[in-house]
C-alpha cells in the first residue's frame, strides 16, 4: 500500500483476524513440514493383543468365581461355547487391570451424591474396587448360607443366587454406595462385552460371539454384499488382526 492510501475495512479485518492465529501458533510451536510426510508411520496401529495366560487382577478365588459366573450368565449350548471357554473372565480381568478398572478416563473426585437409577454408579469406588468388594461379599454370603465359596456350589445353586442378585431377593453386604443390583449389572455388562469384543482383548475366543450372531468383524470391503438384504453373510468373521489361517504368498 502506497503512502497516503487509506486502508480498506476488508484489509483491516483480515490483518486483525490474523493476530490471534499468530499468537496461538507461537504457543503451539508450529512447524514447517518439508520433504516428508505430515504424519508418523504406525501411529494408527491397533492395540496389542492381551496375553491370555494367567490373571493380572483377580486372585485365584476371585478368578474361580468369575469363571463360574460368566459360564452361568452365558451357558454353553449347541450353538456356542459358554462364557468361560469364550474367555469372558480373562477379558474382564484385563479390563480391571487397565484403565477401565482404575476409572482413568472418568472424573472421580467428590462431592458424591446419590443419583437416579439411569445415572449409574455415583460414588468413589472404581470398577476394580467394585469387583473386589462384590466378589468378597458374594463369597461371604454363600459361606453363611451354604458353608462354601460361590464357585463350589452346584450349578442350580449358583443360578438361584445370581437370579436373586438380579431381582433384589438377595442383598450382599456392600459398602461405598454399591448396590447388589448394580454389582450384578456390572458383571453382566462386562461379560457380554467379553463375549462380543474383538478377540485381541482376551474374550470372544475363536470368534465365538461373532459367529453366533453372524457378525462379519473387521473386514475391509462389503460392497459386494450391500444390496443382498436378508441374506446371511457367507464369509467367516475377521478380527482386527485378521485370521490365523491367512497366509502371504511367497
Q: Which three cell numbers stand for residue 211?
A: 459367529
Write the pLDDT tens digit of every residue in 103-157. Answer: 888 888 878 887 787 877 788 889 999 999 999 999 999 999 999 999 999 999 9
Residue 198 lies inside a defined structural domain of this protein: yes
Write the pLDDT tens digit of every residue in 145-195. Answer: 999 999 999 999 999 999 999 999 999 998 777 889 999 999 999 999 999
Q: Which three cell numbers stand for residue 109?
A: 473426585
Asked if 218 and 239 count as a contact pair (C-beta separation under 8 A), the reply is yes
Whole-model pTM above 0.85?
Answer: no
Domain count for the chain, please give it: 1
Q: Alpha-carbon distance 242 to 219, whole Å?
A: 8
Domain range spanning residue 109?
60-213
C-alpha triplet 170, 173, 179: angle, nearest 5°: 70
Q: Alpha-carbon distance 43 to 6, whole Å?
A: 51
In DSSP terms, which residues pair with 238 in a beta bridge?
217
Residue 235 lies inside a defined structural domain of this protein: no
Amino acid at each position: 500500500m502506497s503512502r497516503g492510501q487509506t486502508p480498506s475495512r476488508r484489509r483491516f479485518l483480515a490483518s486483525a483476524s490474523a493476530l490471534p492465529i499468530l499468537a496461538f501458533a507461537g504457543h503451539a510451536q508450529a512447524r514447517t513440514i518439508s520433504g516428508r510426510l505430515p504424519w508418523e508411520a504406525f501411529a494408527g496401529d491397533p492395540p496389542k493383543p492381551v496375553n491370555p495366560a494367567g490373571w493380572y487382577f483377580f486372585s485365584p478365588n476371585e478368578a474361580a468365581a468369575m469363571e463360574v459366573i460368566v459360564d452361568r450368565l452365558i451357558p454353553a449350548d449347541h450353538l456356542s461355547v459358554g462364557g468361560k471357554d469364550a474367555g469372558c473372565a480373562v477379558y474382564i480381568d484385563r479390563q480391571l487391570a487397565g484403565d477401565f478398572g482404575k476409572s482413568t478416563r472418568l472424573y472421580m473426585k467428590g462431592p458424591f451424591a446419590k443419583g437416579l437409577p439411569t445415572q449409574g454408579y455415583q460414588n468413589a469406588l472404581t470398577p476394580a474396587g467394585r469387583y473386589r468388594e462384590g466378589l468378597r461379599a458374594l463369597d461371604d454370603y454363600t459361606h453363611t448360607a451354604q458353608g462354601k465359596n460361590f464357585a463350589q456350589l452346584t450349578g442350580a445353586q449358583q443360578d438361584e443366587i445370581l437370579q436373586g442378585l438380579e431381582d433384589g431377593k438377595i442383598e450382599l453386604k456392600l459398602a461405598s454406595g454399591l448396590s447388589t443390583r448394580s454389582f450384578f449389572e456390572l458383571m453382566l455388562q462386562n461379560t457380554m462385552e467379553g463375549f462380543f469384543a474383538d478377540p485381541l482383548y482376551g474374550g470372544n475366543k475363536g470368534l465365538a460371539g461373532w459367529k453366533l450372531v453372524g457378525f462379519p468383524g473387521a473386514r475391509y470391503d462389503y460392497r459386494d454384499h450391500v444390496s443382498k438384504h436378508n441374506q446371511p453373510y457367507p464369509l467367516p468373521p475377521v478380527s482386527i488382526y485378521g485370521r490365523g489361517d491367512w497366509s502371504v504368498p511367497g
